[in-house]
Amino acid sequence: MVDMSPHHPVAMALSGGVDSAVAAALLRQGRHLTAVHLRLSPAVSIPSHLEALAQRLGIALEVMDLQREFTREVVNYFMSEYALGRTPNPCVRCNAAIKFGRLWELLREAGFTHLATGHYARLQPAPDGSPALFRGVDRRKDQSYFLSRLPRTLLPHLLFPLGDLTKEEVRRLYRDLGLPARKDEAESMELCFIPDGGYQEFLRARRGFAGPPGEFVDSYGRLLGRHRGLECYTVGQRRGLGIPAREPYYVVEMQPELNRVVLGHCPELLSTGLIASGLNWLIDPPAGELEAVAVIRYRHPGVQARIILEGEGSVRVLFAAPQSAVAPGQAVAFYDADRLLGGGWIEARIK
């Protein structure tokens, strides 16, 4: 749907992975394309094959250091959310604040008109002809959920070359293009700033962050045992609780004001809805009630819901069927079929 001159300067976010490499290869023909690699964390080094990849693609490469901004906007947010007993979503935060936030500001100042990434999402015309964001064709890899907080005004400046492809097609294109072989072709890490995935150790290694032990209680407030610190738990968690029972316990609720973790059995995880704040709309903001599909975490299949405006930037979401493990701090995204309508931050579940 993109109507643009081939002379418009396009920045391609090149991570060094298969997805962004193939996206760059699809865009390079007839376009003024520059590869931009983001340095976000000292825990992740610049891929050794990155320069060879850019050379093979025939595009210039620029490395941009946004570590300070990333620490302020994403890492500090990640730590503070866990300290509050919430379940953060650093990828949603990073996309809005860094990749499509601060990076886009710098690119625009440098004269770029478009930003391309390897996200599995599609841009297509809405009924009025304006650009709208849709799920990627490959539903197993669809990443539109992570883009729910992008500003609507940015959509005309974005390119998602992989939106109509499956992951298998992308891998085949990478091989067919003869791009540099990589020793490690693992999928991108969800937490790029914690390469080993040990987020609890990461939190505890930060000066001043070590949640004190507290109580495990049931939904009636009865003591069940002791927990190791709020940062060790998230809503829906089953493993690592250390509470023997005939029927397994799950984390049902976090109570940071009391330093307590509420445990319950599987049915107690169900919620009839949620309250969300900080709404971001990729459509004209609804004036009243809205029917849509609510997605409460990545890979959640979605549930039909009534979205009721409660006030400035806040909504009450009522599910057509109860949903399990609604976690405050996570993002909720709203869809009309495959079209992404917007999203917000989950503040509380409705029992």
Q: Which domains does the chain have, with CATH numbers?
A: 9-176 (3.40.50.620), 211-264 (2.30.30.280), 270-350 (2.40.30.10)
Q: Which one, of 83, 76, 80, 79, lies nearest residue 257 by Cα? A: 83
Q: Tell me the pTM.
A: 0.93
Reading the block at residue 215, the tokens are 């109580």
Largest CA distance in the chain: 67
Q: Counting every residue, how long is the chain? A: 351
What is the signed CA dihedral for 160, 166, 169, 170, rounded to 10 degrees? Answer: 40
The residues, any chain, with a CB within 8 Å of residue 13's CB and separated by 6 or more, are 20, 36, 37, 38, 99, 103, 115, 116, 117, 118
pLDDT reported for residue 231:
87
SS3 at position 327: coil
pLDDT in 10s for each residue of the chain, 351 residues: 444 555 689 999 999 999 999 999 999 887 889 999 999 998 888 998 999 999 999 999 999 999 999 999 999 999 999 888 899 999 999 999 999 999 999 999 999 999 999 999 999 999 999 999 999 999 999 999 999 999 999 999 999 999 999 999 999 999 999 988 665 544 555 688 887 767 888 887 775 566 789 999 999 999 999 999 888 899 999 999 999 999 999 999 999 999 999 999 999 999 999 999 999 999 999 988 999 999 999 999 999 999 999 987 899 999 999 999 999 999 999 999 999 999 999 999 999
Q: Residue with structure tokens 């150790």?
A: 201
Percentages (nearest 5) of helix, strand, coil residues in the chain: 25, 30, 45
Phi first, then psi, for residue 78 (nearest 5°) are: -55, -45
Q: Please indicate whether residue 266 is annotated as part of the active site.
A: no
CB 259 within 8 A of CB 338: no
Report the b/e string of 166-178 with b at 16+ CB within 10 A. Answer: bbeebeebbeeee
* Annotated catalytic residue within 91, 94, 232, 266: 94
pLDDT reported for residue 209:
60
Q: Please indicate whether residue 94 is annotated as part of the active site.
A: yes
Q: Measured in Å, how far apart are the chain's first and last C-alpha atoms?
A: 43
pLDDT reported for residue 192:
84
Alpha-carbon gap, residue 341 to 91, rounded angstroms: 19
Phi first, then psi, for residue 292 (nearest 5°) are: -160, 175
Reading the block at residue 47, the tokens are 């891929």
Q: Which one, of 82, 71, 44, 43, lies nearest residue 203 by Cα? A: 82
Alpha-carbon gap, residue 344 to 149, rounded angstroms: 7
